[in-house]
Amino acid sequence: MDRLFYEITESMRIAMAQIRANKMRSALTALGVIIGIVAVTLMGTAINGIDIGFNRSLAVIGDDMIYVVKWPWHGVDDWWNYANRPPFHVEDAETLNRIAEGTPGSLIDVVVPTAGRSSTVKSGQNQASGVQTIGSTADYGRTIAADFQYGRLFNEEESRSGRQVCILGVDVSEKLFPGKTPLGEWVKIDGHPFRVIGILARQGSFLGLFSLDNQTILPINAYRKFFDVRNGQVQLHVKVKDKTKMDEAQEEVTGDMRRIRGLLPGERDNFSVEQQQAFKAQLDPIKQGIAFAGLFVTGLSLFVGAIGIMNITFVSVRERTKEIGTRKALGARRRTILLQFLIEAVSICFAGGLVGLGVTYGLGLAVRSAMPSFPLVFSFGLVVISLLVSVATGIISGFVPAMGASRLDPVVALRYE
Amino acid sequence: MTPPQAPVEVRHVRDVGPLVIAIEGVTKEYKMGDEIIHALRGVSLNIHSNEYVAIMGPSGSGKSTLMNMLGCLDTPTSGRYEFNGQNVATMIDDELAEIRNREIGFVFQTFNLLARSDSLRNVELPLIYAGVAPHERHKRAKEALESVGLGDRIHHKPNELSGGQRQRVAVARALVNRPSIILADEPTGNLDSKTGVEIMALFDELYERGNTIIVVTHEESIARHARRIIRIHDGLIASDGPAN
């Protein structure tokens, strides 16, 4: 046992000396491994980042929400079937709330109707376009995780009477009233006047793709005075009391909706009830795409890297045939020689893996400073995986030449010049 | 095929110890292309502890093959080879490596030192393969280097040493594991004659200290240092007797 340990430490010394003596050669050989490790870690950080960024965004939108919608979020197989579904009414939310109140142990906290459109908002010469305009009720505040920077949401009374008041996202506010707090100012939303009563705090963007701060919220009864709410623009947002019971809540909402719609047993739902988990599942193909591309690049470069390592190990064995003969004459066994060259191959790969990790880390920092919202998350697991992958590459590619070295006939090896 | 020779009885110059090498009827055949080369055609010899033997012969005589066999680098095609009572003829690679490590100290014509390691590490090498702990290794390697007069060169690398000094390092490496025999293959072949004389004086001294030495050479002047000369010709022992 001691002997094996001494042999391994000796092999490591030799490997280090060998790499130091052939710096350029070792560096070039390790290049394939470096590229492979950069590919695998970049892929990993991107996937990690998407997950974490998504969860962060979900927390903003609210992860205890259920959505009753006309169109399912994925798997639309028969377009006509869905197109002919009846639209939701603003009053459906009220009906759902009443049913929930009458249901003992109901998981439904509150239901709000929402209608949405993309609007242009103006104030004097300033204008903001592509603003997401949302019409809802006073309970809407309970369904979003956002805080107010200034002001408040409209109250029951303003909501019911359809007072022309609005809440602005921080981006809209800054665009229309740069350097000012616009509480009490009037804005024109698609030409209709609304008074600003609140500004939302900054929420950031969703995966760095679109801003959650480019929106405005109106009482739905004001919204419906000017904008169409009949043709499928209305959805119902359901806040659930216990977010560990999302599936049960989803069933409850489905049952209640069937009652409202008067569906008979056996009839298919003419609405869809969605959770954010389902939305999250929509990201899976993207993540799979990244993973697939990453694995392909990784596999290819590791393959090329492995061939390089194998080649350099063959060269190393050839160059040091006489040394192998000498070592064998002095008592090195097959295992000793095998270990020596294997450790040399693994060392080059391991060093390549470390450099690759360093490069990825550097790239990550660069991306973060250039695009702060772009999700790249470096994880400890990735470090472990990449080092394991590089060691495995070394073992696989070094094995054949190292085996050849260990089987050399000492008489032949000693005579080699 | 010539019948195996009977071991020649040796008249000893001085008292020898127990039998170390016992070879009987050893043959070795190589295949070279379509031709089979009979390198050894039936060699028998005994070597005892505390002997100083020279093996001589022209190139192609089978001298090198015999040396490889004695050094347990190779196994015979047929015949018997016992080293300290162990049957070496049928051993596998790793068992032979073990015998070489424990029982045989090699000195090569070209020194065969590791270029990037200093004297101490070169001499330590057999001890690493023997599983000796680092502290003990250092101590013994240093002692071995001191015993060949290189106590002040232990951290020099081969390219910082003269040819004679390099061969001394190699001798220290051969001695360090206290082997049963020291097997030197043309140890002065790459040295100038003056340095060659010094190295042979070192071998003489090692012999006086009780080591068993086998020197393979084609030079009479080198062979004369030995107490017994075995001459090989055409794969057979032509003569085996005391040096004059």
Contact in structure between B217 and B183 (CB atoms under 8 Å): no
Residue B82 bridge partners (DSSP): B22, B87
Spell out which residues of chain A touch residue B125, defining contact as CB-CB under 8 Å: 327, 330
- Residue B193 carries which DSSP code? H
B50-72+103-242 maps to CATH 3.40.50.300: yes
Please report the pLDDT score of residue A210 as a whole number: 62
Cα gap B77→B94, rounded to integer Å: 18
Q: What is the rounded CA–CA span in Å between residue A83 and residue A201?
A: 37
The pLDDT of residue A91 = 87
Question: pTM of the full predicted structure?
Answer: 0.70
Structural domain boundaries of chain B?
50-72+103-242
Predicted pLDDT of residue B145: 96
Q: Report residues of chain A scoring pLDDT below 50.
A: none
Record: contact A21-B116, CB cut-off 8 A: yes
* Cβ pair B53, B226 in contact under 8 A: yes
**Pick from A329, A334, A405, A407: which is nearest to B185 by CA?**
A329
Q: In what order do the strands lie in the sheet with B236-242?
A: B104-107, B181-185, B213-217, B52-56, B228-233, B236-242
pLDDT at res. A309? 92
Residue from the list A322, A332, A336 with its beta carbon closest to the beta carbon of B112: A322
Contacts of A93 (CB under 8 A, 6+ apart): A111, A112, A113, A137, A236
Query: Please, how many CA atoms are within 13 Å of residue B79, restricted to the half-sphere of its CB?
Result: 26
- Selection from B103, B109, B143, B180 nearest residue A331 by Cα: B103
Which pLDDT score is estimated for B5? 56
pLDDT > 50? residue B11:
no
Check pLDDT > 60 for residue B13: no
Test B106 with A330 for CB contact under 8 angstroms.
yes
- DSSP secondary structure of A43-66: HHHHHHHHHHHHHHHHHHH-TTEE
A411 touches chain B (CB under 8 A): yes
Q: Do B116 and A17 touch (CB under 8 A)?
A: yes
Neighbours of A217 (CB within 10 A): 25
B29-32: which pairs have CB atoms within 8 A and are 24 or more residues apart? Answer: B29/B77
Residue A183, class by beta-carbon neighbours within 10 Å (0-12 exposed, 13-18 middle, 19+ buried)? middle
Cα-to-chain-centroid distance, residue B119: 20
**A216 forms bridges with which residues in the sheet?**
A133, A168
Among A84, A26, A31, smallest CA distance to A301 is for A31
Q: Where along chain A do its domains lie?
A: 2-57+284-415, 86-270
Query: Closest Cα of chain B to A29: distance in Å?
Result: 22
The tokens describing A155, both together, are: 């109250």
d(CA A269, CA B230): 105
Q: pLDDT at residue B12 above 50?
A: no
Rounded to whole angstroms, the Cα distance separating A142 from A156 reads 13
CB-nearest to B73 from A3, A7, A410 is A410
> Is A412 touching B (CB cutoff 8 A)?
no
β-pair partners for B182: B105, B213
Averaged pLDDT for residues B130-154: 94
Q: For the segment B55-98, what is each residue's pLDDT rounded down to a tens digit?
A: 999 888 999 999 999 999 999 999 999 999 999 998 999 999 99
Note the pLDDT of residue A104. Answer: 87
Decide which of A202 and B198 is more confident. Answer: B198
The DSSP annotation for B142-172 comes to: HHHHHHTT-TT-TT--GGGS-HHHHHHHHHH
Q: Tell me the per-residue pLDDT of B161-173, one tens digit each, with 9 for 90 and over.
A: 999 999 999 999 9
Q: What is the pLDDT of residues A328-349, one digit of tens each?
A: 999 999 999 999 999 999 999 9
Question: How many interface pairs between A and B have CB atoms less than 8 angstroms apart?
Answer: 71
Is pLDDT above 80 for B108? yes
